[in-house]
Amino acid sequence: MTTRAELAAMIDHTLLKPEASASDVADLVSEAKTLGVKAVCVSPSQLPLRDTAALTVATVCGFPSGAHTAEVKAAEAARAVADGAAEVDMVVNLALVRAQAFDDVEAEIRAVREACGEAVLKVIIESAALTDEQIVEVCRRAEAAGADYVKTSTGFHPAGGASEHAVRLMAETVAPRLGVKASGGIRTADAALAMVRAGATRLGLSGSAAILAELQEREG
């Protein structure tokens, strides 16, 4: 079974509430250090962050709707990297995905990929809002455009967040060439471990402390 330390090393400790303050973000960073997680993920307006030694800094792009132009997403990604983000989680344009306009989807991802430079790019596909066929194709296009990860969800879409089925399908499509990040609605240790078993290599969690404490208790 995945240990507490192993799970912590997969976690993007996340705070993306619109009302989150600078003080809230500072608390997030402090907690992340205590927990030993991989990264913190915050809104781009909160960058640059302070005192993030040993932590990876991640942010979002085109969040949460994805209904921005490719040019705006690229500019937002470039600014985020200039402000210290080492990883960028971009939201795809769901209207383009549902319209089967996959060449346009790939072009948009590629534009953000180029704007990110050396930063890691994760592509949020909002899997709960897509068919299996759409999930597979958008993952293939993300890979073709140079993404490093595909990610299930923003956590803001009414269709829902991560599911084991979606994570497994995504992993079958792109792993091990790309990572798979499960995010959205993962609130218990059992749920987190289920995502790992399904193929997730990163987890986006806002309740990291409780989940890791639950695992710590099991380990005695």
Report the catalytic residues: 89, 151, 181
Please state, in angstroms and rounded to a whole number, the distance separating the CA atoms of residues 151 and 200: 9
Backbone angles phi, psi at 40, to 5 degrees: -115, 145
Closest by Cα among 44, 73, 75, 41 to 55 = 41
Residues 6 or more apart in contact with residue 23 via CB below 8 angstroms:
none
Backbone angles phi, psi at 66, to 5 degrees: 75, 0
- Name 33's bridge partners: none
Please state, in angstroms and rounded to a whole number, the distance separating the CA atoms of residues 216 and 220: 6
Residue 44, preceding peptide bond in cis (omega within 30° of 0): no
Please state, in angstroms and rounded to a whole number, the distance separating the CA atoms of residues 46 and 42: 7
